[in-house]
Structure 1
Amino acid sequence: MGRPERPLDASNGPIAAFAHDLRALRSRAGNPSYRELARTALFAPSVLSSAASGHRLPTLAVTLAFVSACGGDRTVWERRWREIAGQAAITGETREERVPSLSPAHVAFDPAQVTHSMIHMTRPAQLPMGSSTFVGREQALGEAAGLIETASPVKTPLLISGPIGVGKTAFALRLAAEVGPAFPHGQLYADLGECGRESQSANSIVRGFLRALGVPTHLVPDDPMQRIGLYRSLLAQRKLFVLLANVRDESQVRPLLAHTAHSQVVVTSRARLLGLDDTRRIDLDVFTRAESIALIGRLAGAARVQSEYEACEAIAEICGDLPLAVNIAGRRIAARAEWSIAYTAGQLADHDRLMDALCVGDVNVRDRFAAAYQQLPTAGRQAVQQLGLTGSGWTTAIGIASTMGIPIEAADELLESLVDAGILQRATVAGRYSVSTLLGAFVADAHRDAGPAPVTLVDRRARRTVLEPVRRVPGTTSDIH
């Protein structure tokens, strides 16, 4: 037990009366020790003791931290502090010297008790630039905005999923622009697809978010769980839009999710992340043909599209109406005004050169498929090669089971894993899965340059992908459906 405090005479002036009442507030709270108060107030015990000593008026931050820790009314005490500070009329009496706030290394950290007075309110604006050529998706945008704007006690995370190149992040950015006024305290953004090492994943992202939200370095907890707790507490206090893009699996993103009354977390992922509880979902499909044509027109000019409408339709068909592929084709058309659209359609129609043609600058379709392919287990890679080389537009679990010599249950799980990898989509017919022309072009492109043994293939930009030899089953190629 600490030494008893020196008695105070409240009649000795407003500062003494202020300190006397702080002590009374502490007494009504059960008379916790100053060390116990420090765990919640985030100021050193000596600072809190000095606040109630009556020697000088404590700072407003210390006062509010003391009051909050004792369960007092912050508004009432802040009004009283300002009245006394005005009466003192001299800065030296309203400033407490040598009172640094307590580092989390010195006390048990309670992130839920961090107050606005200790954290400078900043408005982060971390979202990357959205697309000025965004088209379509009106129904999906309306549905997503409705889910976010629905009046409810908490805002649950929203997951936007879909296959490779379907435009999930572009959709999320357009959604953020539409619902932005509801989140005036700013936007946070992290691309989890770039988190290759554990040290770069959730804990590192949370640390960066806290700094962006104005949390001083000395108030960022060293303990990962406490750091995440503080992040969630700030989401609960503010109205923020948080976009977590290119998530690979549930464990990668789960620490960053929270149910809050004001902030909205949006996640984009190729995978459906079925392991996440209480998550609302928007599943994006490829463009409609009208949306594909509209995007080409937005990029290359509506007049050119109108004059060569059939060629534009042919390009959309070759691209499988995949937004990424259509976008690249439209940019190629726009870059060569002297070329007819039909000429570009002819280039894309050459199946042997399709992967090379679907490239503009540092954006290409080949790399997207290669990245997903390289993350698959051996069985998944073998299935991709079988699917790509048949040239069919669909497959079933029965066909894969027959071709690969595995049980139907295993084949079904394998195809579902390819859906989560963004490589396949479920077809409109139950039990069938769509196999895009682009997947076939990707696999064929790799095998054309591959020898009998596993080799490394190099494209024009020195990017690399590795395909294992296909295990062919004689007489079953046509049975993959």
Structure 2
Amino acid sequence: MGRREKPIDVQSSPVAAFAGDLRKLRAAAGNPSYRQLASVALYSPSVLSDAAGGHRLPTLPVAIAFARACGGDPHEWERRWREARGDSTPTEPLPIVAVDDQAEPGQPRPAQLPIGPHDFVGRLAEFDGARAAMSGIAESRVPVVVRGPVGVGKTAFALRFTHQLAEQFPDGQLFADMAARRADEAAPLEVMAGFLHALGVPPDQVPEDDMHRIGLYRSMLAERRVMVLLDNVRDEPQVRPLLARSLNSQIVVTSRSRLLGLDGVRRISLGPLSRVESLDLLRLLIGSDRVRAEHAAGLRIAEFCGHLPLALTIAGRKISAQPGRRLSEIAGRLAEGVNVANWLRIGDISLADAVLPAYLSRPPLAKHVLHMLAGGADEVTPAALARALHISIESAEYAMDSLIDGGLLHRVSEPDRYLMSPLIGQLVAQEADRFALRRGQDQHDTDPVRAAIGFTEGGFVR
């Protein structure tokens, strides 16, 4: 039996009368508890209880789900809902009616977004594109996928964007770093369980059944106004269960992969910064006076960093810690040659830590292409690769697509031509050379990442 509810005056308003009818329907169904109804309706018990509370009219999806769970006729209850709303027109309703600007009192309001970047420049066109993608379809908010190569600043962009819009989602912000999840299909459902807990669903009320859990999660996003950021997504299966289209909530995904297998999303692609933006970022990091005094040297440092925000941020913070050193001296040292993995590392932040796992996860043929480019080739085409390796063009395209989705390669404006950032090429070549030297000296390498570089199905490719 459900707990005793507060009485309502069904004569006081159409909303109260509608709630009273819902209570009668529930009583006719045997008065199941709201927890029992939730397992069928796929809305949380609190949402269903509020629907019959008489304080406000529930959304149409909630009202129909409540009626279905109690054996009611959905068409009849849609008619009653329209009457309670005072809607006599036959037009299609919006999925969710307007709600107050503030979150419901007592409702959990998670604030899980990490702190956004302080030093940030540019991306105005990309921000405009992301906002347009969010508002492009009137009847629902479409998930936005932010993708781009290694080090291009996807997470920084997404955090900046979601923090800017946080006030539009007063019911909370949810965040998950998907790269921290283990590589099995249960990971998204584990993330989902954590999100449901954060939104107020008690652990013992999170459905064990996968479909019911997904249904409850999507229903709550439809009912509330929540921003969801899913960072560092590896592939489509890792994120597909967590996607939803909702009028109220917004989902943002970051990934090196294009995630072309996902339907119903809008994609925003990030590339390296422009020369002007790169210098602006260095000015923020090391001071306008130093960059203004040695503009040419600053530009050489930016070019060494491939205009990648991650590399520029590491370089800028390292240079900022050396206030007495001239930029021309640093630029000259970089031109002479440095170990990229060591130089572009500060604290626990490293470009190598972003590049090498992406490299290691590629198939052998894709690694071969990467080594061709790292060995000095400016660009490669599928046809040229197919001729050189005596493979089909389809296999060559597959290898290069794999590198694009690993964030290690990008297409240029001409069709079927592919480039790799020289900085990433240096890093791959230097780390590979280091492993080749060490392997002959020590067969018990203690660094699993570097040890794995030299092994492909066909041996190490030079």
Alignment TM class, shorter chain as reference: 0.7 to 0.9
- Distance, in Å, in 1 between the alignment partners of 2:105 and 2:216 is 11
Structure 1 length as normaliser, TM-score?
A: 0.74
Q: How does 1:202-351 map to 2 (within 5 A)?
A: 202-351=188-337
Query: 1:457, 1:465 within 8 Å by CA — same for their partners in 2?
Result: no
Q: Which residue of 2 aligns with 1:467?
A: 453
Query: 2:19, 2:54 within 8 Å by CA — same for their partners in 1?
Result: no
Q: Which residue of 1 aligns with 2:406?
A: 421
Q: Which residue of 1 aligns with 2:55?
A: 75
* SS at structure 2 position matched to 1:145: helix
Query: 1:355, 1:441 within 8 Å by CA — same for their partners in 2?
Result: no
- Distance, in Å, in 2 between the alignment partners of 1:442 and 1:77 is 60
* SS at structure 2 position matched to 1:75: coil
Q: Does residue 183 of the first structure (1) align with residue 169 of the second (2)?
A: yes
**Percent of aligned pairs with the same amino acid:** 38
- Distance, in Å, in 1 between the alignment partners of 2:282 and 2:33 is 65
Q: Which amino acid aligns with 2:251?
A: V
- Distance, in Å, in 1 between the alignment partners of 2:390 and 2:308 is 32
* SS at structure 1 position matched to 2:452: strand
Q: 1:24 to 1:208 in 2, by over 3 A?
A: closer
* SS at structure 1 position matched to 2:138: coil
Q: 1:291 to 1:76 in 2, by over 3 A?
A: closer
Q: 1:23 to 1:413 in 2, by over 3 A?
A: closer
Which of 433, 437, 441 is 2:418 aligned to? 433
Q: Cα deviations across residues 315-338 of structure 1 (Å, max 9, x unaligned)?
A: 111111111111111111101101
Q: Which residue of 2 aligns with 1:370?
A: 356
Q: Which residue of 1 aligns with 2:370?
A: 384
Structural RMSD (CA)? 3.7
- Distance, in Å, in 1 between the alignment partners of 2:446 and 2:426 is 16
Structure 2 length as normaliser, TM-score?
A: 0.77
Q: 1:261 to 1:382 in 2, by over 3 A?
A: same
CA deviation after TM superposition for structure 1 residue 42, in Å: 7.2
Q: 1:75 to 1:457 in 2, by over 3 A?
A: farther
Query: 1:159, 1:281 within 8 Å by CA — same for their partners in 2?
Result: yes
- Distance, in Å, in 2 between the alignment partners of 1:404 and 1:433 is 17
* SS at structure 1 position matched to 2:145: strand
* SS at structure 2 position matched to 1:268: strand
Q: Does residue 143 of the first structure (1) align with residue 129 of the second (2)?
A: yes
Query: 2:356, 2:428 within 8 Å by CA — same for their partners in 1?
Result: no
Q: 1:30 to 1:358 in 2, by over 3 A?
A: closer
Q: 1:305 to 1:233 in 2, by over 3 A?
A: same
- Distance, in Å, in 1 between the alignment partners of 2:348 and 2:340 is 16
- Distance, in Å, in 2 between the alignment partners of 1:260 and 1:253 is 16
Q: Does residue 447 of the first structure (1) align with residue 444 of the second (2)?
A: no
> Which is further off, 265-274 or 217-226?
217-226
CA deviation after TM superposition for structure 1 residue 66, in Å: 7.2
CA deviation after TM superposition for structure 1 residue 431, in Å: 1.6
Q: Does residue 40 of the first structure (1) align with residue 37 of the second (2)?
A: yes
Q: Which residue of 1 aligns with 2:346?
A: 360
Larger Rg: 1
Number of corresponding residues: 400
Query: 1:297, 1:305 within 8 Å by CA — same for their partners in 2?
Result: yes
> Which is further off, 393-402 or 29-38?
29-38
Unaligned runs of 5+ in 1: 1-13, 44-60, 79-106, 109-117, 473-481
- Distance, in Å, in 2 between the alignment partners of 1:41 and 1:372 is 42
* SS at structure 1 position matched to 2:267: strand
Q: Cα deviations across residues 327-381 of structure 1 (Å, max 9, x unaligned)?
A: 1111111011011112221232233523321111111111211110111112222
Q: Which residue of 1 aligns with 2:385?
A: 400
Unaligned runs of 5+ in 2: 1-6, 12-17, 59-68, 71-103
